[in-house]
């Protein structure tokens, strides 16, 4: 872990790269072309993936806020306390990102970057100090909460008010399809970027989170798909078009050659929603099975990251914080230790994952996992049966069983014991320790740790 006093340094003589991070929302592992999707066309996204490295074993978190927190802090949920979706006026397990957390935007701005967020925040906004422009972003545009109507911007969580659309933390009355508006703003930021100043552009559309909707011209080519998949296809097509527009704006400014583009989902696609697909992974959003936490992802920077490759080393979204700080020459000196590790050698030199173990923390109390090499151990509350059937202890070999079908727990008790001991080490002294308390026998009273209505709307 990085500790106070640690420093990152850009490669000698290197120009600080622009960084564009596309964090899409609720995208199924198999719902994008570069991961094998056949019925939804995503040519702009696929072209970017082909120019770089597809990350086949890239982990995020099972629901929105924890994934965003992990990206922006480089710290796992048991250290930030962000285990589940942040609620307006939430506290404890639903509270905002603590002010003690230093964000990636703060680190990069300190290193001379212009910083902008276009899209979804979802890390706390009830009072001004928790909003993006107080957390390192020079400019903000989009939604603060978990979900909105794509056209009216009506908030799915009524605690956000009637509408959830903001510019620089002030309510905005802009009208239009949300994905298009977010792309418009990203293009504006790019076109107005001063020459010679590096840019960190965090593009976080609400696509393809429910309630799904899309412009008629995006739905029309998919009229023959199953009814429950048409709107997902249309929303994905609109997203792809808009990523193409953002990349065109970078090209217009002659910024492509010095821009690192990263793409990932914040979590897996919702398994209760028949429109999305996580094949061949088991489960989906809110689960600790692979379908909930292993997400579609790539990194592209021609001339720096080899193109046309797949990387199967296990990596986690927390790793981007130290990696990007190193590339930007930003300081890693901070009071709170980082969990993320520098993955640049993995991306550029074929190195192994720097992790000896990756903890995979669920969104429900008492549910968590660990990956060590090819093996994954899952701990589930015995009575928990929400989305998929599960056992209290499960052990899988992901090298041969990516779909998590054969539970080795009974056959390999010593491996279970060793992995559980390593997991317990990683979970020592967690923030909000009540999350890890075993539920009382016969009384599963943990609605606080279930996804919000705003998170499960189809």
* 373: nearest Cα among 391, 352, 394: 352
Interatomic CA distance for residues 114 and 418, integer angstroms: 46
Half-sphere exposure of 64 (CA within 13 A, CB side): 32
CB distance 73 to 80 below 8 Å: yes
- List the beta strands (DSSP E) in 36-177: 53-55, 58-59, 114-119, 139-142, 166-167, 170-171
- List the beta strands (DSSP E) in 189-269: 199-204, 259-265
Q: Which two tokens stand for residue 155?
A: 């908030």
Q: Among 64, 118, 296, 390, which one carries the catalytic annotation? A: 64
Q: Among 37, 79, 118, 122, which one carries the catalytic annotation? A: 122
Strands 368-372 and 358-361: antiparallel
Q: Is-catalytic flag, 325?
A: no
Interatomic CA distance for residues 109 and 103, integer angstroms: 10
State yes or no: cis peptide before 211, omega within 30 of 0.
yes
Q: Is-catalytic flag, 153?
A: no
Residue identified by tokens 């094998």 is: 36
Beta bridge partners of residue 397, listed in sequence order: 375
Give the chain's radius of gyration (CA, Å): 20
Q: How many residues does the chain have?
A: 458
CB-CB neighbours of 19 under 10 Å:
23
Interatomic CA distance for residues 27 and 31, integer angstroms: 7
Integer CA distances (angstroms), 33 to 20, 27, 150, 225, 241, in order = 20, 12, 23, 16, 14
Residues that are catalytic: 64, 122
């Amino acid at each position: 872990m990085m500790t106070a006093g640690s420093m990152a340094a850009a490669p000698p003589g290197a120009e600080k790269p622009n960084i564009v991070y596309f964090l899409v929302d609720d995208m199924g592992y198999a719902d994008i072309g570069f991961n094998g999707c056949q019925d939804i066309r995503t040519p702009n996204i696929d072209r970017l993936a082909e120019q770089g490295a597809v990350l086949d074993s890239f982990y995020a978190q099972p629901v929105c806020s924890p994934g965003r927190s992990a990206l922006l802090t480089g710290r796992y949920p048991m250290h930030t306390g962000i285990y589940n979706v942040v609620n307006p006026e939430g506290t404890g397990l639903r509270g905002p990102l603590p002010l003690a957390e230093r964000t990636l935007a703060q680190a990069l701005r300190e290193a001379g970057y212009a910083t902008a967020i276009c899209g979804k925040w979802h890390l706390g906004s009830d009072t001004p100090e928790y909003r993006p422009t107080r957390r390192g972003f020079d400019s903000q545009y989009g939604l603060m909460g978990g979900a909105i109507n794509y056209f009216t911007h009506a908030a799915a969580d009524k605690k956000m008010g009637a509408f959830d659309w903001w510019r620089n933390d002030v309510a905005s009355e802009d009208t239009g399809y949300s994905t298009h508006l977010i792309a418009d703003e990203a293009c504006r930021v790019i076109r107005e970027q001063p020459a010679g100043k590096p840019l960190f552009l965090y593009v976080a559309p609400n696509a393809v989170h429910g309630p799904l909707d899309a412009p008629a011209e995006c739905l029309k080519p998919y009229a023959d798909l199953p009814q429950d998949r048409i709107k997902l296809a249309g929303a994905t097509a609109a997203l792809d078009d808009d990523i193409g527009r953002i990349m065109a704006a970078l090209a217009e400014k002659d910024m492509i050659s010095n821009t690192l583009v990263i793409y990932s989902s914040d979590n897996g696609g919702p398994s209760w929603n028949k429109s999305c697909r996580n094949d061949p992974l088991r489960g989906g959003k809110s689960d600790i099975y692979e379908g909930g936490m292993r997400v579609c992802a790539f990194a592209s920077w021609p001339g720096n990251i080899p193109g046309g490759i797949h990387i199967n080393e296990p990596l986690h979204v927390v790793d981007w914080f130290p990696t990007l700080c190193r590339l930007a020459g930003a300081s890693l000196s901070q009071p709170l230790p980082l969990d993320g590790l520098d993955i640049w050698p993995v991306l550029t030199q074929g190195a192994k994952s720097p992790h000896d173990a990756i903890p995979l923390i669920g969104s429900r109390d008492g549910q968590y996992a660990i990956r060590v090499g090819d093996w994954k151990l899952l701990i589930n509350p015995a009575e928990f049966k929400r989305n998929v059937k599960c056992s209290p202890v499960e052990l899988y070999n992901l090298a041969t069983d990516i779909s998590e079908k054969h539970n080795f727990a009974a056959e390999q008790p010593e491996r279970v014991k060793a992995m559980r001991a390593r997991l317990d080490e990683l979970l020592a002294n967690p923030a909000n320790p009540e999350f890890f308390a075993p539920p009382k026998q016969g009384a599963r009273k943990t609605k606080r740790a279930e996804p919000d209505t705003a998170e499960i709307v189809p």
